[in-house]
Amino acid sequence: MTKRYGNRLALHDVSLRVDPSECVGIFGPNGAGKSTLLRVLSTLARPTAGRVRCCGLEMPAQASEMRRLVGVVGHQTYLYDDLTVWENLDFYARLYGLRDAGDRIRQVLDLLGLGDRTEERVRALSRGLQQRLAIARAILHRPRVLLLDEPDTGLDREGRDRLASIIGEQVRLGGAVVLTTHAVEFGCQVASRVLFLDRGRLLWERPASGDLVDE
Ligand code: ADP
Ligand code: ADP
pLDDT in tens, 44-56: 999 999 999 999 9
User: Residue 166 belongs to what H/E stretch?
Assistant: helix 157-172
Alpha carbon distance 26, 197 (integer Å): 7
Ligand 2 geometric centre to CA of 75 (Å)? 9
Q: Count the Cβ atoms, other than its own, within 10 Å of residue 103.
A: 9
Give the distance, in angstroms, between the CA of residue 109 and the centroid of all CA atoms in the same chain. Answer: 17
Cis peptide leading into 29, omega within 30 of 0?
no
| 192-207 average pLDDT score | 95
Please say whether the dihedral angle defined by the alpha carbons of residues 62, 65, 69 and 71, taken in this order, is positive or negative.
Answer: positive
Ligand 1 geometric centre to CA of 142 (Å)? 29
| 84-98 average pLDDT score | 97
Question: Which protein residues are within 6 Å of ligand 1, measured from CB?
Answer: 5, 8, 10, 28, 30-36
Q: Which atom of ligand 2 is nearest to the CA of 75?
A: 4
Alpha carbon distance 53, 63 (integer Å): 10
Closest CA to 74 of 43, 120, 28: 43
- Percent of the chain exceeding pLDDT 90 equals 94
Give this prediction's pTM: 0.87
Look up the ipTM and state it: 0.72
Ligand 1 geometric centre to CA of 157 (Å)? 29
Query: Binning pLDDT at 50, 70 and 90, where does residue 180 land?
Result: very high
Give the distance, in angstroms, between the CA of residue 108 and the centroid of all CA atoms in the same chain. Answer: 15
CA distances from 84 to 44, 67, 90, 120, 147 (A): 26, 24, 10, 5, 24
Alpha carbon distance 91, 85 (integer Å): 10
Ligand nearest to the CA of 30: 1
Q: Which atom of ligand 2 is nearest to the CA of 149?
A: 2
- Total H helices, total E strands in the chain: 7, 10
Ligand 1 geometric centre to CA of 22 (Å)? 26
Return the amino acid letter for 91. Answer: F
Query: Binning pLDDT at 50, 70 and 90, where does residue 215 land?
Result: very low
Choose one of 9, 35, 78 to mutate for the ligand 2 pocket test, by most ligand atoms within 8 angstroms of C-beta: 35
Ligand nearest to the CA of 201: 1
DSSP state of 43: T
Alpha carbon distance 156, 197 (integer Å): 26
Alpha carbon distance 153, 187 (integer Å): 12
Q: What is the pLDDT of residues 130-177, one digit of tens each?
A: 999 999 999 999 999 999 999 999 999 999 999 999 999 999 999 999
> Do 129 and 117 contact (CB within 8 A), yes or no?
yes
Per-residue model confidence (pLDDT) at position 211: 58
Query: Binning pLDDT at 50, 70 and 90, where does residue 97 land?
Result: very high
Q: In the predicted model, what is the mean pLDDT of the chain? A: 95
Q: Which atom of ligand 1 is nearest to the CA of 36?
A: 6
Q: Whose CA is nearest to atom 17 of ligand 1?
A: 10
